[in-house]
Amino acid sequence: MQRYTLSRLIQTIIVLVGVSLVLFLILYKMPGDPAKRMAGMKASPQVLENVRQKWGLDKPLPVQYISYAGNIAKGNLGTSYRYNRPVSSIFAETFPATAKLAVFAIFIESVLGLAAGILSALKKRTFTDTFITISSTFLICVPVFWLGMLLQYIFGLKLGWLPVSGYEPTNLLYLILPGVTLAAISTGVLIRLIRASMLEVSGARYITMARAKGLSESRVLIKHQLKNALLPSVTFIGLELGALMTGAVATEIVFNYPGMGFAIYRAVMERDIPVVISGILIMVFVYVMVNFFIDIIYGYLNPRVRLGLNA
């Protein structure tokens, strides 16, 4: 088990190093000069040179990356070019808002996805099943930004029930529209997943045996069919927590939601490279660590997985 854990940990480190390297190269090769962003477009060449020296932008690209990677390894995310403050303090302010949005989206996804998927399986080949299937397909296919603007128009502008943008930590109303938007695709996938699992399990021998013993349909459903059908769905929901943390950028932009995604978007527009790289690394780290722990749990529960055998 220790060998398996070490192997997964090494893979995690390689992914993070690879992501940071690719991001660093792409961002530094993008058009525009970060020094001009900091000093102003009308700054003199001498001022620009001083800015480059101060931030190490005059050094070769490999030297800049090694220096940045070394700071990251020490827990130093660098300093924002735009705001001249530690990047860690920026994300300390924005991470809680994104985390709250992701957890709220997971709640919506779990409740609606599981309920609709189970109902669809129980009402197989009926109008209810068809309606839920079409709705889940729509959720999977609809663009996030379009759905967000549609919800803003209907529930914010037309009906006036919910705020269309912004965020207040103590007001849950600000989470509803962005939360529904963020959870839409995942909810559609979960509906299809739980429906397929329920139908697959319904034909198993132990289900037939449970009915033959005279157990009521409700007990067969809850104790046998649902219990086993939920296993892949629970895994999917666990992975989605990391995915929603990393996928909140578009939603936060649409709703002007002051989370990590919106902070990264502004940093891209302002060529604030330390904020962009650190923000994306944090999101990737969250996603990778969720996968890492799920891999470890799988390896613990199933020896064939950690031994590299087919389950």
Spatial distance between the Cα atoms of 282 and 121, rounded to a whole number of angstroms:
38
Show Cβ contacts of residue 77 under 8 Å, excluding neighbours closer than 6 positions.
71, 86, 87, 88, 91, 274, 278
Note the pLDDT of residue 311: 45
- Which tokens belong to 270? 């302002």
In sign, the C-alpha dihedral spanning 196, 202, 205, 207 is positive
Query: What backbone phi and psi angles, to 5 degrees, belong to 204?
Result: -70, 155
Does residue 209 sit in the same domain as residue 251? yes
Distances (CA, A) of 27 to 15, 61, 173: 18, 11, 36
Note the pLDDT of residue 131: 92
DSSP H/E element including 121: helix 87-122
Does residue 200 sit in the same domain as residue 279? no
3-state secondary structure at position 126: coil
Does residue 105 sit in the same domain as residue 241? yes
- Which tokens belong to 94? 């924005």
The whole model's pTM is what?
0.73
Q: Does the residue 32 lie in any domain? A: yes
Note the pLDDT of residue 206: 61
Low-confidence residues of the chain: pLDDT under 50: 305, 309-311
Contact present, 267 and 82 (Cβ < 8 Å) = yes
Domain CATH number, residue 155: 1.10.3720.10
Spatial distance between the Cα atoms of 158 and 149, rounded to a whole number of angstroms:
12
Where would I find the H helices in 203-248? 205-212, 217-219, 227-246
Does residue 174 sit in the same domain as residue 299? no
Within its chain, how far is the Cα of 221 from the centroid? 32
Report the number of distinct structural domains present in the chain. Answer: 2
Spatial distance between the Cα atoms of 178 and 105, rounded to a whole number of angstroms:
8
Does residue 162 sit in the same domain as residue 193? yes
Does residue 24 sit in the same domain as residue 77? yes
- Single out the residue of 118, 123, 255 nearest to residue 181, CA to CA: 255
Does residue 57 sit in the same domain as residue 157? no
pLDDT, tens digit (0-9, with 9 covering 90-100), for 122-156: 888 889 889 988 988 888 888 888 888 898 889 88
Question: Can you state the angle between helices 260-269 and 87-122, rounded to 10 degrees?
Answer: 130
Range of the domain at 181: 92-269
Q: Does the residue 11 lie in any domain? A: yes
Show Cβ contacts of residue 109 under 8 Å, excluding neighbours closer than 6 positions.
183, 186, 187, 190, 237, 240
Q: Does the residue 130 lie in any domain? A: yes
Distances (CA, A) of 47 to 43, 51, 125, 255, 278: 6, 6, 72, 38, 27
Q: Does the residue 157 lie in any domain? A: yes
CB neighbourhood size of 188 (10 A): 23
DSSP H/E element including 125: none
Q: Does the residue 87 lie in any domain? A: no
Q: Does the residue 308 lie in any domain? A: yes
Q: Does the residue 186 lie in any domain? A: yes
Does residue 66 sit in the same domain as residue 130? no
Q: Does the residue 164 lie in any domain? A: yes
Note the pLDDT of residue 27: 67
Does residue 108 sit in the same domain as residue 210? yes
Does residue 121 sit in the same domain as residue 198? yes
pLDDT, tens digit (0-9, with 9 covering 90-100), for 237-280: 767 776 777 667 788 888 888 888 888 888 888 777 778 888 88
Does residue 158 sit in the same domain as residue 65? no
Does residue 231 sit in the same domain as residue 186? yes
Spatial distance between the Cα atoms of 81 and 107, rounded to a whole number of angstroms:
37
